[in-house]
Amino acid sequence: MTTYVWDYLPEYATERKDILDAVETVFGSGQLVLGKSVRGFEEEYAAWHGVRHCTGVDNGTNALKLALQALGVGPGDEVITVSNTAAPTVLAIDATGATPVFVDVRESDFLIDTDQVAAAITPRTKALLPVHLYGQCADMAPLTRLAEQHGLKILEDCAQAHGASHHGRLAGTMGDAAAFSFYPTKVLGAYGDGGAVITDDPDTDARLRRLRYYGMEKTYYVVETPGHNSRLDEVHAEILRRKLTRLDAYIEGRRAIARRYEEGLADLTGPGGLLLPATNPGNEHVYYVYVVRHPRRDEIIEALKSHDIALNISYPWPVHTMTGFQHLGYERGALPVTERLAGEIFSLPMYPSLPPETQDRVIGALREVLTAL
Ligand SMILES: *Cc1c(COP(=O)(O)O)cnc(C)c1O
């Protein structure tokens, strides 16, 4: 049987009764859209973060888009972010009519190089969009300082960072708003698509609620600012409520898997060879993906295929090199660290229900392949 980087079936096998009970609860409730489960999840997710507001939406991409719009971002504005991210981060900026502006990431942690942000700010800059990539928070203090100096909004892309923390503060509680995805692979995942935006600001939240519901306050009401249909489904909200009670355990499970990789691979690491993820001081990592680095990445992935192990790369193509973003005008070489990483990184299997014997098989195969290189 092929081993993949992610699989939900072992988790479903242990949680099946609870998941099906959630489905039954919603289907029998008499209210299939924006009912008790969405409201309940929003309250519980806000409380989990210690913030005042949460609005559930249909996916993480739209969480980012609606949050940007709720923060006042639109055509003519610029939003500073990274190219070393999932394409949706950038698609969301594009969908508001604003222009994405990229800065490079740091070689040490693959996160936004905060030293490059000041030079990217122009009179049109409206917001900073740091991505807490792979489950580790970007450095927020320099960004907060710049935002205050230049009157910018900060939207945190938390799609990979549920429960991650930075100097004692949870991901999503350090900016003006934060967008989450509940795509099934994420640290908190639904059984389909879902997303949410959290914020402490009641006006931002009120705008978000209208934006996800055609631009209306309530059913058959007036559209003041044209909005979208971006509602979170009741059934996913109810499943997420159940899974939220286990989020701490999921994160612990991911950390235990990360420790097992460290123990099993540490002696093979070194400069110019295998590099394991580093956690910055003050950060608590949630390991959404376990991204390692090796200059001979492609050979390693190929060799592991004969061990029935299929690995992923997050992400093989930096967003600024994609065909659909050529109009932004970034040449190859514009973001050297991002481009170099894209050729060297790869992800090892990581999900809380990964069976230890499967992980040990991956470690064993990787050891064999690395020793034979
Ligand atoms: C998954 C992800 C998104 C998009 O979320 P969807 O729910 O798939 O729309 C956005 N940003 C990052 C960094 C992601 O990993």
* Residue 3 resides in a domain: no
Q: Determine if ligand 1 sits within 6 Å of the CB of residue 161.
A: no
CA 364 to ligand 1 centroid distance, Å: 31
Q: Do 237 and 282 share a domain, yes or no?
A: no
CA atoms within 13 A on the CB side of 231: 16
Give the residue from 225, 244, 263 where a domain finishes: 244
Cα(366) to centroid(ligand 1), Å: 29
Q: Is the CB of 135 under 6 A from ligand 1?
A: no
Helix axes 60-70, 87-95, angle to 10 degrees: 40
Same domain, 183 and 268: no
Instruction: Indicate which residue of 126, 153, 186, 243 is catalytic.
Output: 186
Three-class secondary structure of residue 156 per DSSP: strand
Of 227, 244, 261, which one is at a domain's C-terminal end? 244
Residue with the smallest CA separation from ligand 1 atom 6 is 60
CATH of the domain at 218: 3.40.640.10
pLDDT of residue 112: 98
Task: Give exposure, 147-158, as e/b (b: 16+ Cβ within 10 Å).
Answer: beeeebbbbbbb
Residue 4 lies in a domain: no
Ligand 1 site, residue 181, Cβ cutoff 6 A: yes
For the CA of 92, the nearest atom of ligand 1: 10
Same domain, 94 and 188: yes
Closest alpha carbon to 370 in 258, 362, 359, 310:
362
Q: Specify if 1 maps to a domain.
A: no
Domain interval for residue 22: 9-103+112-244
In this predicted model, what pLDDT tens digit does every residue of 339-373 receive, in sequence order? 999 999 999 999 999 999 999 999 999 999 999 99
Residue 356 has what pLDDT?
96
Q: How far, in Å, from the CA of 263 to the mean position of ligand 1? A: 30
Which CATH number is 305's domain given?
Answer: 3.90.1150.10
Digit-coded pLDDT (tens) for 270-329? 998 999 999 999 999 999 999 999 999 999 999 999 999 999 999 999 999 999 999 999
94 falls in which pLDDT band (50, 70, 90)? very high
Instruction: Looking at the structure, tell me whether residues 228 and 272 fall in a common domain.
Output: no
Condensed to tens digits (0 to 9), the pLDDT of residues 195-205 reads: 999 999 999 99
Give yes or no: residues 238 and 253 share one domain: no
- 230 lies in the same domain as 260: no
Distance CA 143, CA 130 (A): 9
Q: How many domains does the chain have?
A: 2
Indicate if 219 and 279 belong to the same structural domain: no
Q: Is 218 one of the annotated active-site residues of the chain?
A: no
The atom number, within ligand 1, closest to the CA of 64 reads 10
What is the pLDDT, as a whole number, of residue 225?
87
If one residue of 89, 182, 314 were mutated to test the ligand 1 pocket, choosing by the most ligand atoms within 8 A of its CB, it would be 89
Per-residue confidence (pLDDT) for residue 224, from 0 to 100: 85
* Cβ contact 41:232 at 8 Å: yes
User: Quick check: 244 pLDDT over 90?
Assistant: yes
Residue 282 counted as domain residue: yes
Expressed in angstroms and rounded, the spacing between residue 230 Cα and the centre of ligand 1 is 15
* 302 contact partners, CB below 8 Å, separation of at least 6: none
Nearest CA to ligand 1 atom 2: 159
Decide whether any atom of ligand 1 lies within 6 Å of the 85 Cβ.
Answer: yes
Q: Say whether both 123 and 34 belong to one domain.
A: yes
* pLDDT-derived band at 87, boundaries 50, 70, 90: very high
Write the single-letter amino acid at 106.
R
What is the identity of the amino acid at 25? T
Q: How far is CA 254 from the centre of its chain?
A: 15
Mean pLDDT value across residues 24-43: 98
Tell me the pLDDT tens digit for each residue of 159-187.
Answer: 999 999 999 999 999 999 999 999 999 99
140 with 170, same domain? Answer: yes
Residue 233 and residue 257 share a domain: no
Domain boundary among 213, 244, 275: 244
Helix (H) or strand (E) holding 179: strand 177-181
CA distance 160 to 129: 14
Regarding whether 283 and 335 lie in a shared domain, the answer is yes
178 belongs to a structural domain = yes
If asked whether residues 309 and 215 sit together in one domain, one would say no
Strands (E), 43-108: 53-57, 78-82, 99-103
Shortest-distance atom of ligand 1 to CA 132: 13
Question: In the chain, what percentage of residues exceed pLDDT 90?
Answer: 97
